[in-house]
Amino acid sequence: MNRFAVDLARLDAAELAGLAADIRAFLVDKVSSAGGHLGSNLGVVELTIALHRVFRSPRDVLLFDTGHQSYVHKLLTGREAGFDGLRRAGGMSGYPARAESVHDVVENSHASTALSYADGVARASRVRGEGARRVVAVVGDGALTGGMCWEAMNNLGASPELPVVVVLNDNGRSYAPTVGGLAAHLEGLRESTVDSSVFRNMGLAYIGPVDGHDVSALESAFQMASALGRPTVVHCVTRKGKGYLPAELDDECMHAVGALDPATGRPVGRGAQSWTSVFGAEIAAIGAERPDVVCLTAAMPGPTGLGRFASRFPDRFFDVGIAEQHAVTAAAGMAMTGLHPVVAVYSTFLTRAFDQLLMDVALHGLPVTFVLDRAGITGPDGASHHGMWDASLLPVVPGIRVGAPRDAEVLRALLREAVDFAGPSAVRYPKAAVGPAIPAVRQVGGVDVLRCAPDARVLLVGVGALAGECLSAADALAARGVPVTVVDPRWVAPLNPTLVEMAAEYRLVLAVEDTASAGSLGGRLAQALAAAGSDTCAGTCALPTAFVPHGGREQLLSGYGLDADGIAAAVLERLDLLGERVGLRPVA
């Protein structure tokens, strides 16, 4: 049943208003059950309806930046049934997905890219002789704080022949409130206190501001922009969370939600301590002790755990907007003057600033700490958000240290070691609840020994939060007559020489890590052992070097063999290949 995929052109004003109300009720019902981006989609209901009445997707190209505001677009293009499996394994993505529909052109879940896509699609259409094809980019005001938007607008402004419509969805925020001079300029445009828009000064036509919840006004503006046949900004003013009181009252918490009670908007099933909350408390404590410590984030103060630090030390907290590159190089400038910056971002977003980390921070050997939330498998946000690349990329950076804590106590310790270090460091942890404390039996040269089994010929190197699964796998293997020693390297880069020496004493060594297999700790350890002339067989249990789909974190880890059962099976398989599986006891 696709009750929302209707012929919009046939609906009158009253029917359109009823459709908008039905869509909002549907979204609250489905997202409160499955989790997802709620406030942003409630705010673009009328805007998306108007877009589909004026433009003809997929003939006309509709791009959403960021893609978390595409749920209404999905409903209007016949994907109502998909919401029953929203963000679940095998179900519908929470972002545009090319595999789902011809109406989704890009997998756009990272901000500030749609205008560049639009520029490229429009130029290609012109080269191919598809002059009647219109290109529309729906861009949140928060996304405009990212530099790529301005690089694209610089080119669009000098290309009057391109029929690109930039729909500026201005709700005053991305996740957090939009920051910087742009926010002030948009406010001036909304209140008619400025004489000219920056867009018009750059060579684009400008229409607005338009009431983003008035379908008729939106249609008129979009038709006018289309008729101009040139790059045009349509400035639409919307309210995030529109039509659902809990989301209107708390648009930050309602931006992205887990399961909640739709009647109250309150979350259900929560309570476990998260890695993010442990970091947030500890960095605030460090801030009280160290006046040289400052914190930066890229439009994510709440999700990265910096709320407490920002509240206690507002003069030492900096939200730069969706501008990871600027955040990293600004941190480098701060470090050059004697401060110790802590840059807190999602793992997937740090890769956007890899050049700045390499050439602006590491080249100068600067003391900057990177705190990477959502490292490894993040779950329902899917391929673009899994933080599975940083631990493969960062080890190539000269002088950097990369830490992966196994529990809350180790996170606190690694964070303090990082802010005491005279060069760049990164501390990475997952989007998950923190497990129980895992004490070390002893520490050898910076490596924590978590279990020491006499006569063991197998060594498991448990990286970060997967150390607990390694211990469970060791229990299962011991029950079958395979003694296993388990260690935690704490710092996975640079490669600890003590870990190499320890590994050389075993016949089989497996590093267990939630990162891409290319560039993994296990691969680097195998190289080091081979270079030392060791006959130890070393490998890794890691994620494939491929884009991993969305699904539950535990479900995905299990599917890739990164739970206790999978780890134990990998050990037994490799022992078979080595001819070492003798005297094995059957499963009880």
- Which residues are known to be catalytic? 240, 324, 352
100 assigned ligand-binding residue: no
Q: At what angle do helices 215-228 and 13-34 cross, to 10 degrees?
A: 100
Q: Which of 128, 111, 116, 118 is nearest to 163 (CA)?
A: 118
Contact (Cβ atoms closer than 8 angstroms) between residue 220 and residue 207: no
Contact (Cβ atoms closer than 8 angstroms) between residue 278 and residue 271: no
For 240, the token pair is 């995030």
Helices (H) and strands (E) in the chain, counts: 22, 20
Phi first, then psi, for residue 417 (nearest 5°) are -65, -35
List of residues 6+ apart from 132 with CB closer than 8 A:
none
324 assigned ligand-binding residue: yes
- Amino acid letter, 21: A
514 assigned ligand-binding residue: no
364 assigned ligand-binding residue: no
298 assigned ligand-binding residue: no
Task: Round to whole Å and give the CA distance between 326 and 306.
Answer: 18
158 assigned ligand-binding residue: no
- Does the CA dihedral 17-18-19-22 come out positive or negative? positive
Q: Give SS3 for 37.
A: strand
Contact (Cβ atoms closer than 8 angstroms) between residue 373 and residue 344: yes
175 assigned ligand-binding residue: no
Contact (Cβ atoms closer than 8 angstroms) between residue 155 and residue 195: no
Strand partners, 443: 448
For residues 31, 32, 33, 36, the Cα torsion angle rounded to the nearest 10 degrees is 40
Cα distances (Å, whole numbers) of residue 38 to 35, 41, 49, 242, 256: 8, 5, 17, 10, 6
- Does the CA dihedral 435-437-439-443 come out positive or negative? positive
The total number of residues shown for the chain amounts to 588
Considering just the CA atoms, what is the radius of gyration of the chain in Å?
26
**Could you tell me how far CA 59 lies from the centroid of its own chain?**
30
DSSP 576: H
Contact (Cβ atoms closer than 8 angstroms) between residue 136 and residue 55: yes
List of residues 6+ apart from 564 with CB closer than 8 A:
469, 470, 472, 473, 475, 476
Q: Which of 78, 92, 89, 76 is nearest to 30 (CA)?
A: 92
114 assigned ligand-binding residue: no
Q: Give SS3 for 351.
A: helix
DSSP 429: -
550 assigned ligand-binding residue: no
- Amino acid letter, 580: E
In angstroms, how far is the first alpha carbon of the chain from the final one? Answer: 50
Task: Round to whole Å and give the CA distance between 450 and 486.
Answer: 5
- Does the CA dihedral 177-180-184-185 come out positive or negative? negative
For 43, the token pair is 């705010």
- Amino acid letter, 572: L
152 assigned ligand-binding residue: no
Binding-site sequence positions for Mg(2+): 141, 171
Binding-site sequence positions for thiamine diphosphate: 68, 109-111, 142-143, 171, 244, 324
Binding-site sequence positions: 68, 109-111, 141-143, 171, 244, 324
